[in-house]
Amino acid sequence: MRRVLQLYRSSVGKKAVMGVTGLMFFGYVAGHLAGNLKIYLGAEHFNAYAEFLREIGAPALGHSWFLWAFRIVLLAALLLHVTAAIQLWLMARSARPTNYRRPVHLEDSYVSRTMRWGGVVILIFILYHLMNLTWGTAHSDFIPGDAYHNLVTAFQSLAVSAAYIVAVIVVGFHLYHGIWSSLQTLGVNQEHHDRWRRTSAVIATVIVLGNISIPVSVLTGIVQ
Amino acid sequence: MELNGKVPSGSIEKKWENHRFEMKLVNPANKRKYDVIVVGSGLAGASAAASLGELGYNVKCFFFQDSARRAHSIAAQGGINAAKNYQNDGDSVYRLFYDTVKGGDFRAREANVHRLAEVSLNIIDQCVAQGVPFAREYGGLLDNRSFGGAQVSRTFYARGQTGQQLLIGAYQALERQVAVGTVELFPRTEMLDVVIVDGHAKGIVVRDLVTGKIHSFAAHAVVLATGGYANVFYLSTNAKGCNVTATWRAHKRGAAFANPCFTQIHPTCIPQAGEYQSKLTLMSESLRNDGRIWVPQRVGDTRQAKDIPENERDYYLERFYPSFGNLAPRDVASRRAKEAVDEGRGVGEGSGGVYLDFRDAIDRLGQQVIAERYGNLFDMYQQITGENPYEVPMRIYPAPHYTMGGLWVDYNLMSTIPGLHVIGEANFSDHGANRLGASALMQGLADGYFVLPYTIADYLAQTEGSPVTTDHPAFQQTEREVAERIQRLVDVNGTRSVDSFHRDLGKLMWNQCGMARNASGLQDALEKIPEMREQFWSDVRVTGSGEELNQELEKAGRVADFFEFGELMCRDALERDESCGGHFREEHQTDEGEARRDDERFAYVAAWEFTGVGNTPIPHKEPLEFEYVHLAQRSYK
Amino acid sequence: MQITLNVWRQASSMAPGRFERYVAKNVSEHMSFLEMLDVVNQGLIEQNKDPIHFEHDCREGICGSCGMVINGVPHGPKPAITACQLHMRSFSDGDELWLEPWRAKAFPVIKDLVVDRNALDRIIEAGGYISARSGSAPDANAIPIPKETADTAMDAAACIGCGACVAACPNASAMLFTSAKVAHLSKLPQGQPERRRRVLNMVEQMESEGFGYCTNHGACQTACPKEISIDFIAYLNRELLGATLVG
Ligand SMILES: Cc1cc2nc3c(=O)[nH]c(=O)nc-3n(C[C@H](O)[C@H](O)[C@H](O)COP(=O)(O)OP(=O)(O)OC[C@H]3O[C@@H](n4cnc5c(N)ncnc54)[C@H](O)[C@@H]3O)c2cc1C
Ligand code: HEM
Ligand code: HEM
Ligand code: SF4
Ligand code: F3S
Ligand code: FES
């Protein structure tokens, strides 16, 4: 633990924390996509799946224990991810008090420069998403326990679907740079960083397309 | 003034070993009580400062760049010699010694050269241990190449950046000592004078280039490692900041200046493109392995290279020197190029170059092989000239490159001022009248890592660690003189820029005291330089003040010194009424146009004593004896 | 050709700076960029004005002295060269250029385009060396080093310490510089004994100098005149994680 704290003191350590938590989110988003795609198997499958999540570990652990443990880990990771992001951001700002008249835009891709704002958008989206599909507070016709219904009715609104599509694209960009970047941060890309860049592009595209397909399918009536 | 070389007795192989044993040592516990000032952070200065720090001395290291890593040594491309005989091709310490004495055209001290060859072995070990990434073979052992026409492969290299890698090694060793606290660095600080107390060098006066503050530092001994003076020609391959100031000011305080006329011209540089030209770029000599040098046969032929048929081209080096051809030694190749251009057969902008043509090599080996061998150099050439050397021949012309002359030093590397040591290119060195390729880096590091750290103890042990402080009136006096000179420069407030004067001086030196010299030209220069100097002091314009970062003022101080030094250089060239190595007197040549030495009259080191600006300096002579390498005339026919 | 220059002029680190406009006339395409500035300065001296101060020495791309941001790009528009290697044929008649110093908290401006880069020296001082006492080294061929290793070390060692990476990095991070030195030394067998301390101390020094952190933008690599790869940054990261977590 002392070593982890020592590591966190350095910028590389903070970056590593972002990298590790970022990869955890990536794992979550990937798993979440797999779950979400069950929508195509119909309401029963989908709801059973949602229920299944709550029953993992039961009876040994009790109803929803695992899910809560999982949520707590995710929430803690999010807090770390965001705290590190803010600390590093402040550090970067103070490192260049006067900017260039025409700031430099070299290889740093558009994507890499939008990581910070992308993160903020994602944060807002997650909040909205929870209110929309988990708590139902931002849902016109929320039926607790019927995830399939909640989802389909939500996406029938063009505005809601559009918001999801935009958010998912932002997540995709964040991941495109993020996956590659965390490998760089964790020192996996020892050589040929470009190959890893292509890999993360493919992964990010799959995630974006997979998730977008859901609101699109609802809007076009493939999923009802 | 007495010139005592202090060469130890005994056979040449044993001199250095015996001497090391006989020298006085400084007690390890006492070393930190000794302060040593090192001026310069090039290969010589950085290696010396780091090694002295390791030994426990209190070292202060001064340089004018912002970082020690930027000293001019960084620019050396080709490589560094060492008699390792890793290639098993018959090299040995003795052979390197022999080649260096002979290559220097018998104008160096045998004992020094032998010592240089001996410690060359340790240099490579030292650098590898520091992490210098020398080129290696697939088996993991060090690679070597043959350089500058040497008959053995004894040159170690790190891509085209050998000087850079060696300097970074020394710089890192230096920074390590800074961390330990034995060395203190003074970047952006220019030394402007030596302080003499009771006949000994006891400190220096410097100007902080950022604040303009003039102050002084005291020490038990002073080491100058301030590099060469090729910038007296204005256009040279040296970095813009290279200067004679430190050594010249020491000379004015009593250090003899030896062989100032021994300068080396490098044959393969990119020719001047216009009046605005600020420096010349060297292209590695290795290009001559595959390139053929030629000019049109006809005077004033302005056709493009590709339109000149084979039978109207003059491959003059191949014509003059059938066995060496395009690989004729530096000075010979340079002079022949000058001849061709002087005859009006030069090519390119202002007809100021000769062709170095790869057409035949590309036909023979294919473009790919040539690209593998010289790709970087070709790119560099194209980037500077905008011409593609795969398609049109390169244009080259000789340029001042290295200066063998420098402050006179004895075997212990101490000048004629006790306590003032001089190392690297700044001393009159081990290269005689001509330096072999890849030997300057070797000498700088030999002096700094392996010679000076021992020999300086011999002097320090005698000073008994008597404390020195800047309270002595000599310090205030010297500071005042330095400040006055700076004020004088600022006060002239004339009409012409410093650079314009420097250009004029450079042109004069190049024409009269460059690749080829003759009595009447030198006399002409000796008349003109004092006039130009006077003009400089009455018409130069230095903008800004002395109390800030002022690059014009820095340049002005250096150019003022070049104006005094140039005169000495021409005088030395005039007095040395023979040709030897890089010093070619047109009056003394064989029928084939080769340099003709006069060993009867000139087998000596000329060491000049300063007698005041504008006064005739006093020549002193250190006779040279050749017990091991027998005097013989060079011949490259 | 004719070039309009807007140059950052700042009398000293304390004084405020601003852009001043100069017109360079009769610029030859064969001139180097710095020679063009020499000519502009010549004109300023004739008008008894303080010439533009910029750092330079070797003028052949190896000493790392020169450095200025030209239209937002460190060392100017051409890749893989320094400002002193840039020639005017890379520009066209009528171009308008903005010249600025490297901008970073760790690089205070000294005057005009001249900045203080000694922070980089202090990073080296913190551990960018291999301790090898003069005269104590074993024979140079005693430890064979695979050619690939030597070549990679050389790739990293090619850094000239110019600071363009810092200037280009949106975070003003010195990671490329630091990582190149860590990689140069820690990849070699000679560098092993100090490997752990080196990376820890150098990174710590880098941070205390006020450089930003690296978010893997990669702008540094594009600006670097010696084409140092950000692969070395990944290498440094791994070295640091290993040194802290494993010891
Ligand atoms: C383009 C080029 C290529 C070369 N290639 C090779 C090669 O391949 N092989 C080879 O062996 N040699 C080569 N040489 C020659 C070799 O590089 C030099 O002779 C050698 O590096 C000189 O080292 P030095 O330490 O004596 O001086 P320098 O490296 O010139 O260092 C001088 C130091 O003194 C300081 N200094 C100077 N004046 C003052 C002052 N007044 N106050 C304070 N500080 C001062 C400077 O700041 C600097 O730190 C080459 C030279 C050139 C120009
Ligand atoms: C689903 C949610 C998220 C995922 C999958 C995710 C993933 C990642 C990954 C993998 C990285 C790369 C880390 C590295 O380079 O080592 C990263 C970086 C980053 N994340 Fe996230 N992240 C998510 C949410 C957020 C949120 C909510 C914020 C902030 C409000 C945020 C802000 C950032 C920032 C600023 C970076 C850039 C770090 C940098 O390079 O400076 N992220 N993210
Ligand atoms: C179109 C895309 C998406 C769909 C269809 C979708 C669907 C769902 C559904 C139905 C739930 C509710 C599960 C339940 O409560 O039983 C849920 C929860 C959640 N989703 Fe999504 N989601 C999508 C995109 C995302 C994205 C991009 C993220 C993250 C950045 C995300 C993060 C979450 C989180 C954190 C929860 C709460 C999980 C929990 O209960 O703890 N979702 N999602
Ligand atoms: S890494 Fe490149 S840009 Fe950075 S200091 Fe080194 S050479 Fe300059
Ligand atoms: S641009 Fe900056 S963010 Fe990292 S990859 Fe280079 S240091
Ligand atoms: S002046 Fe040396 S790198 Fe540009």
Closest CA to A50 of A59, A60, A40, A38: A38
Could you tell me what percent of chain B has a pLDDT over 90?
89
Q: Do B549 and C114 touch (CB under 8 A)?
A: yes
What distance in Å separates residue A205's CA from the closest CA in chain C? 20
**pLDDT, average across residues B300-318:** 95
Confidence of residue B591 (pLDDT cuts 50, 70, 90): confident
E strand or H helix that includes residue C154: helix C147-157
Residues of chain A with Cβ-Cβ distance to C216 below 8 Å are: 112, 177, 180-181, 184-185
Residue range B138-160, pLDDT digits in tens: 999 999 988 877 889 999 999 98
Q: Do B239 and C28 touch (CB under 8 A)?
A: no
Residue B504: CB atoms within 10 Å: 16
Look at residue B134 in the predicted model and tell me its pLDDT. 97
Residues of chain B with Cβ-Cβ distance to C48 below 8 Å are: 541, 543
Could you tell me what percent of chain C has a pLDDT over 70?
100
Choose between B78 and C169: higher pLDDT.
Answer: C169
Residues of chain C with Cβ-Cβ distance to B69 below 8 Å are: 64, 121, 161
Confidence of residue C247 (pLDDT cuts 50, 70, 90): low
Choose between B223 and A50: higher pLDDT.
Answer: B223
Residue range B437-449, pLDDT digits in tens: 999 999 999 999 9
Calpha distance A26→B324 (Å, rounded): 68
Average pLDDT, chain C: 96
Lookup: tokens for C184 = 């140069």
Look at residue A57 in the predicted model and tell me its pLDDT. 66
Q: Do B66 and C116 touch (CB under 8 A)?
A: yes
Q: Which of B34-48, B69-83, B422-436, B454-468 shows the lowest mean pLDDT across its residues?
A: B454-468
Assign 3-class secondary structure to B201-253: EEEEEEEECCCCCEEEEECCEEEECCCCCHHHHCCCCCCCCCCCHHHHHHHHC
* Residue at token pair 């011949």: B635
How much distance in Å is there from the Cα of C153 to the middle of ligand 4?
15
* Residue at token pair 């860590």: C182
Q: What does residue C185 show for φ and ψ, rounded to 5 degrees?
A: -85, -40
Q: Do C137 and B179 touch (CB under 8 A)?
A: no
Is some CB atom of chain B closer than 8 A to the CB atom of C31? yes
Q: Do A7 and C244 touch (CB under 8 A)?
A: yes
Look at residue A108 in the predicted model and tell me its pLDDT. 54
Report the residue count for chain A.
224
Q: Which of A2-11, C61-70, C104-113, C171-180 shows the lowest mean pLDDT across its residues?
A: A2-11
Residues of chain C with Cβ-Cβ distance to A94 below 8 Å are: 105, 210, 212
Could you tell me what percent of chain A has a pLDDT over 70?
92
Is some CB atom of chain A closer than 8 A to the CB atom of C149? no
- DSSP letter string, A39-61: GGG-HHHHHHHHHHHHHTTTTTS
**pLDDT, average across residues C69-94:** 96
What distance in Å separates residue C40's CA from the closest CA in chain B? 11
How much distance in Å is there from the Cα of A197 to the middle of ligand 3?
27
**pLDDT, average across residues C94-122:** 97
Per 3-state DSSP, chain C is made up of helix, strand and coil in percentages (nearest 5) of 40, 15, 50
Residue range B257-266, pLDDT digits in tens: 999 999 999 9
Is some CB atom of chain A closer than 8 A to the CB atom of C71? yes
Calpha distance B358→B387 (Å, rounded): 14
What distance in Å separates residue A185's CA from the closest CA in chain C? 6
Look at residue A193 in the predicted model and tell me its pLDDT. 64
Confidence of residue B634 (pLDDT cuts 50, 70, 90): low
Calpha distance B407→B257 (Å, rounded): 4
Burial B556-574 (b: 16+ CB within 10 A, else e): bbbbbbbbbbbbbbbbbbb
**pLDDT, average across residues C180-208:** 97
Q: Is any atom of ligand 5 closer than 6 Å to the C-beta of C206?
A: no
Q: Which residues pair with B38 in a beta bridge?
A: B61, B223
Look at residue A50 in the predicted model and tell me its pLDDT. 85
Residue C131: CB atoms within 10 Å: 16
Is some CB atom of chain A closer than 8 A to the CB atom of C49? no
Mutate to test the interface with A, among C9, C241, C246 (most CBs of A within 10 A): C241
Q: Which of A213-217, B285-289, C191-195 shows the lowest mean pLDDT across its residues?
A: B285-289
**pLDDT, average across residues C118-141:** 96
Lookup: tokens for A214 = 């859901």
What distance in Å separates residue A137's CA from the closest CA in chain C? 37
**pLDDT, average across residues C207-215:** 93
E strand or H helix that includes residue C4: strand C3-9
Closest CB from B47, B75, B281 relative to C63: B75
**pLDDT, average across residues B206-226:** 97
Is some CB atom of chain C closer than 8 A to the CB atom of B125? yes
Of all protein residues, whose CA lies closest to atom 3 belonging to ligand 6? C61
Average pLDDT, chain B: 95
Q: List all residues 6 or more positions away from C35 whose beta carbon is below 8 Å from its beta carbon.
A: B276, B277, B278
Q: Do B70 and C132 touch (CB under 8 A)?
A: no
How much distance in Å is there from the Cα of C195 to the middle of ligand 5?
23
Residue in C with minimal Cα distance to A102: C72
**pLDDT, average across residues C37-47:** 97
CA C32 to each of CA A59, A199, B330, B393: distance values in angstroms, whole numbers, following the listed order: 78, 42, 27, 21
| The model's pTM | 0.96
CA B231, B120, B79, B168 torsion-angle sign? negative
Q: Is any atom of ligand 4 closer than 6 Å to the C-beta of C163?
A: yes
Is some CB atom of chain C closer than 8 A to the CB atom of B75? yes
Q: Which of A133-137, B231-235, B478-482, B629-633 shows the lowest mean pLDDT across its residues?
A: B629-633
Pocket of ligand 3 (CB under 6 A): A 29, 32, 36, 50, 71, 122, 126, 129-130, 133-134, 147, 151, 164, 168, 171, 211, 214-215
Q: Is any atom of ligand 1 closer than 6 Å to the C-beta of B608?
A: no
Residues of chain C with Cβ-Cβ distance to B549 below 8 Å are: 12, 53, 110-111, 114
Residue range A156-209, pLDDT digits in tens: 999 999 999 999 999 999 999 999 999 999 998 766 667 788 889 999 999 999
Confidence of residue B135 (pLDDT cuts 50, 70, 90): very high
Distance of CA C72 to the CA centre of its chain: 15
Q: Is any atom of ligand 4 closer than 6 Å to the C-beta of C128?
A: no
Look at residue C115 in the predicted model and tell me its pLDDT. 98
- Given a contact cutoff of 8 angstroms between Cβ atoms, the answer to whether B255 and B420 are in contact is yes
Q: Is any atom of ligand 2 closer than 6 Å to the C-beta of A88?
A: yes
